[in-house]
Amino acid sequence: MKGIFSLGDKKPEEKVIPMPGLPMDGRAPTKESLEDVLAELCKFGNPRVSNTGENEWYSCMKMFVTGEGVEFEIKSDFKSPTPLQAAQQCRDRMHSALKSLGLKF
C-alpha cells in the first residue's frame, strides 16, 4: 500500500533532558525537598524562588511576625546552585531573624 508505513514493534525513544542543578542530573536526591522548605517558609510569608540565569537561583520572602508587628524581607544570596539551596538559605536566615527577636518557631 502506498503512503502507509509502520514502525513495527519499535517505540520511539524518549529523551529525558535533566534540568541542571536538580536531582535528575545524576546526584542522589536530598532528604529534604524543596516542597518541604517552601511549606515551612509559607508559615511566615510568601516565599519566591527564581532562576536568575546560567543555572543560578535566588529565594526571597516578605515576612510578617504576627503579634510582634515586625515586617521584613529575607533574601538568599544570588547564584545558589539549586533552588533547594536558595530556599534553605532563606529559611536559615528566617530562623536567625526569629531567634534574634526571641521567638520560638
Residue identified by cell 536559615 is 92
Alpha-carbon distance of 13 to 17, in angstroms, equals: 13
Question: What's the domain count of the chain?
Answer: 1
Q: Does the residue 27 lie in any domain?
A: no
Instruction: Tell me the CA end-to-end span of the chain in Å, nearest whole number.
Output: 72
Q: Is the pTM of this model over 0.75?
A: no
pLDDT one-digit tens code per residue, 8-25: 555 556 555 555 555 555
Alpha-helical segments (H) within 14-103? 34-41, 83-100
CA 102 to chain centre: 28
- How would residue 7 be classed by pLDDT, with cut points 50, 70 and 90? low
Please name which of 103, 32, 29 lies closest in space to residue 68, comparing C-alpha atoms.
103
List the grid coordinates of 102.
Answer: 526571641
Q: Does the residue 56 lie in any domain?
A: yes
- How would residue 66 be classed by pLDDT, with cut points 50, 70 and 90? confident
Q: Which domain holds residue 60?
A: 32-100
CATH classification of the domain holding 39: 3.30.160.20
pLDDT one-digit tens code per residue, 27-37: 555 588 999 99
Higher-pLDDT residue of 16 and 100 is 100
Torsion angle, alpha carbons of 42, 38, 90, 26, to 10: 180
52-76: average pLDDT: 89
- Please state which of the ranges 13-22, 56-65, 80-89 shows the lowest mean pLDDT: 13-22
Q: Does the residue 1 lie in any domain?
A: no
